[in-house]
Amino acid sequence: MFVLIITDVVDIDRFVANARVVSLSRRAPAASTTQAAASAASSSSPGLDLVLDETIMHPQGGGQPSDVGFIQWDAQPERRFTVVDVRADKGAAAVVHHYGSFGSQDLDDAALATASAGAPVTIHVDESKRRLHARLHSAGHLLDSAVRNLGHTGLVPSKGYHFPDGPNVEYLGELEQTVRDGLPAALNIELQRLIATGGDVQVKYVPTSTLEGGGSGHSLAAPSAVPAQETSEPLRYDSPDAVRMVNIGGVECPCGGTHVKSIGDLQNVKVTKVKRAKGTLKVYYEVSPM
Ligand SMILES: [Zn+2]
């Protein structure tokens, strides 16, 4: 089985990369191996599914939207594939699907076959979307740190939604009404303090064997799950033997997303409202435009 290595997702500043086509086919929702891929395939049309031998395009995951951009055939620059969505299959064979189309110059079946014959291509990531998504997602991490710094240890991050339309983090737990009413203002003061303090976003790779549970995505690791020593040699974050740990402002958690390099890059993060529902609190926020 072909195994794809997702290269350099760690490096937010890499927007162009070379690769080779592994396969190019029409979308087949029923054949998708994951529910997410199936829903992606059915959500827009027309669609093609392009798989490369490696990619710098970040798949949707952990509440973070995918990269978008385009992929150009090196020998035929007019052959330009617009990428509207990127999804990764789960499991050991981490195949990444680039969903999109050639626009008006869509290919017939014969042309599809020739286009997929190991052709060298160049990947172009939409830089402004990548940076916006990284800021929205990183702000979710910073929010976790602000919640903890305010002493709300009973609020446990469970889900993040880091899309531009209404980003929020959902916490398991409850607060008394007076505390809850004052939460946005209190969080905004703490967020501003953290941003003014600044510091690097810290990323490290720890062996899965040292974690209790491991995992990825936007979730909080229990303190006992953070090992005393990490490996000195960075491993690929998608390796089954390692988990990528991200620390923004003090709270460390396993995460495969894209992040800003420095907390100061966030400039401003503002909590807009807190919504309570059945044992959870949803904290909505916004990031300042660049
Ligand atoms: Zn993250």
pLDDT (tens digit per residue) in 132-162: 999 999 999 999 999 999 999 999 999 999 9
What's the gap in Å between 25 CA and the centre of ligand 1? 31
Architecture of the domain defined by 130-287: 2-Layer Sandwich (3.30)
What's the gap in Å between 124 CA and the centre of ligand 1? 22
* DSSP H helices in 183-253: 183-197
d(CA 211, CA 231): 13
What's the gap in Å between 135 CA and the centre of ligand 1? 10
What's the gap in Å between 175 CA and the centre of ligand 1? 25
Q: Which residues belong to CATH 3.30.980.10 in the chain?
A: 130-287
d(CA 163, CA 129): 11
Describe the crossing of helices 183-197 and 127-149 by its angle, rounded to 10 degrees. Answer: 110
**Strand, coil or helix: what is 283?**
strand
Ranked by mean pLDDT, the top range of 38-42, 87-91, 181-185 is: 181-185
What's the gap in Å between 178 CA and the centre of ligand 1? 31
Asked if residue 166 has pLDDT above 70, the reply is yes
What's the gap in Å between 256 CA and the centre of ligand 1? 6
pLDDT at position 139 is 96
pLDDT at position 213 is 44
Token pair belonging to 206: 């720890």
Asked if residue 245 has pLDDT above 60, the reply is yes
Q: CATH number of the domain at 5-125, out of 2.40.30.130, 1.20.1560.10, 1.10.12.10, 3.40.50.10880?
A: 2.40.30.130
ipTM of the shown complex: 0.99
pLDDT at position 42 is 45
Closest CA to 171 of 155, 151, 182: 155
pLDDT tens-digit profile of 264-284? 999 989 999 999 988 999 999
d(CA 197, CA 65): 28
* Residue 116 banded pLDDT, cuts 50, 70, 90: confident
What's the gap in Å between 137 CA and the centre of ligand 1? 6
The CA-based dihedral angle spanning residues 51, 55, 58, 61, taken in that order and rounded to the nearest 10 degrees: 50
- Of 99-113, 170-184, 214-228, the poorest mean pLDDT is in 214-228
81 contacts: CB under 8 Å, gap ≥ 6: 48, 50, 70, 71, 72, 98, 100, 101, 102, 121
What's the gap in Å between 45 CA and the centre of ligand 1? 30
Question: ∠ CA(194), CA(10), CA(240), 5° rounding?
Answer: 115
* Residue 11 banded pLDDT, cuts 50, 70, 90: low
Q: Which residues belong to CATH 2.40.30.130 in the chain?
A: 5-125
Task: Considering only residues 30 and 228, tell me which one the structure prediction assigns the higher pLDDT.
Answer: 30
